[in-house]
A and B are shown apart, each in its own frame.
Chain A
Amino acid sequence: MAMKSYPIEIGGVRRELPVVQVGDGVSVALLNLLGDTELTEAVAAEMAKRLPEEVEVLVTPEVKAVPLAHALSRVSGLPYIVARKTAKPYMINPVTREVLSITTGKPQLLVLDGADIARIRGKKVAIVDDVVSTGSTLKGLRELIESVGGNVAAVLAVFTEGTPRDDVISLGHLPLFKPEEE
């Protein structure tokens, strides 16, 4: 049986995203930037063109958008900070927030190292993520950034998914799929 896929193109780079079931009655087109250097660099170049000029620092949630944040930081010259999934023993005064992960259904932590908070406070921040679906991670990250005195000036994602939204600067939109369509 041929696996269903969904075609995308960004900056001339084409991929067939596998459509995989992630929960009861829902399948998604799986974007994977981890390991795909060509696609990641193409996304970073396109995102840099849409990055509002006022932005001073990028913040990304661990893990899948980390190479994108690295590449976008290199292209834009802006620093980036990773919100981790766990507090590390070496962190100094970490600040955490719990969000409900839609893909696992489990509570998920977002953690900022105290050392990074000084780089966010009073700054215009762009949140960088791969796919914004329900927006639960986005909401938690926004609240976390604002709680330490950062000003979220923009949200950039490769794709929005499910319901289109106008509060995210994205390079495209992914539909949700029903498993029986696979």
Chain B
Amino acid sequence: METMETYPIQVGSVTRRVPLHEPFPGVRIPLVDFLGDVEFVRAVAQELLPKLPEEAEILMTAETSSIPLTHEMAAARGMNYIVARKRRRPYMVDPIIQEVESLTLGAGEVLWLDRRHAERLLNKNVVLVMDVVASGGTMKALERMVSRAGGKVVGRMAGFHQGDLKLDIVTVAELPQL
């Protein structure tokens, strides 16, 4: 069997040898997985929490892989968070619907936010949280959702980023293209 190539990622005292994913021929990126890894998520949260803006009142993210990190950070600060969904749910009432601009995907992804949750963003200082930021399209879409819901984005945080950051985002480390 072929030995899978891995890449070492260290956060605090936690090291993971993550697999490399080849999205396009000749481009390989380390594949960080926050789902199912409590120890790693907690290490990333510990790095980000000291930089969480003090005025933050609620966190916001999009499903699915960023949920554990957002939960961990929110729980540590006694805060709640809002999750934008990638599909319409049957119980949603008057949802905010936001298209994600993407350079790599032809068909635009759409984020959905139930009005009941959107109302919790009104007049709130919101920090956006994601596991990995690449083009920043999802984060920009979240920012527009917060704005449309009457909230104010006071910070953007992510575990890792790939490529140049076009937005002002606090991250723990960059994931290189190999």
Residues in A lying within 8 Å of B, measured CB to CB: 18, 20-23, 28, 30, 34-38, 40-41, 62-63, 66-67, 70-71, 73-74, 79-82, 84, 89-90, 92, 103-104, 115-116
Checking A22, A63, A115 against B63 with a beta-carbon cut-off of 8 angstroms, the contacting residue is: A63
**Contact indicator A35/B68 (Cβ below 8 Å):** no
Closest 4 CB pairs of A and B: A67-B71, A70-B68, A90-B21, A20-B91
| Pick from B42, B68, B91: contact of A66, CB under 8 Å | B68
Q: Determine whether the beta carbon of A70 is less than 8 Å from that of B91.
A: no
With contacts A62-B64, A63-B64 known, is A71 near B75, CB below 8 A? yes
Contact B38 A74, beta carbon cutoff 8 Å: yes
| Interface of chain A: mostly helix, strand, loop or mixed | mixed
Residues of B within 8 A of A84 (CB): 64
Q: How far is the CB of A153 from chain B (nearest CB, A)?
A: 19
* Complex Cα–Cα for A81 and B41 (A): 14
Contact of A37 among B21, B71, B93, B117 (CB under 8 A): B71
30 pairs, CB–CB < 8 Å, chain A vs chain B: A20-B93, A35-B74, A35-B81, A35-B82, A36-B80, A37-B74, A37-B75, A37-B81, A63-B63, A63-B67, A63-B85, A66-B64, A67-B68, A70-B38, A70-B41, A70-B67, A70-B68, A70-B71, A71-B75, A73-B36, A73-B38, A74-B42, A79-B36, A82-B36, A84-B64, A89-B21, A90-B19, A92-B19, A103-B89, A104-B90
Cα A89 to Cα B21 in complex, Å, equals: 9
How far is B64's CA from A133's CA once the two chains are assembled, in angstroms? 22
Cβ contacts under 8 Å, A34 to chain B: 63, 67, 83
Asked if A18 and B68 make an inter-chain contact with CB atoms under 8 angstroms apart, the answer reads no
Which chain A positions have C-beta within 8 A of B178? Answer: none
Contact B90–A35 (Cβ < 8 Å)? no
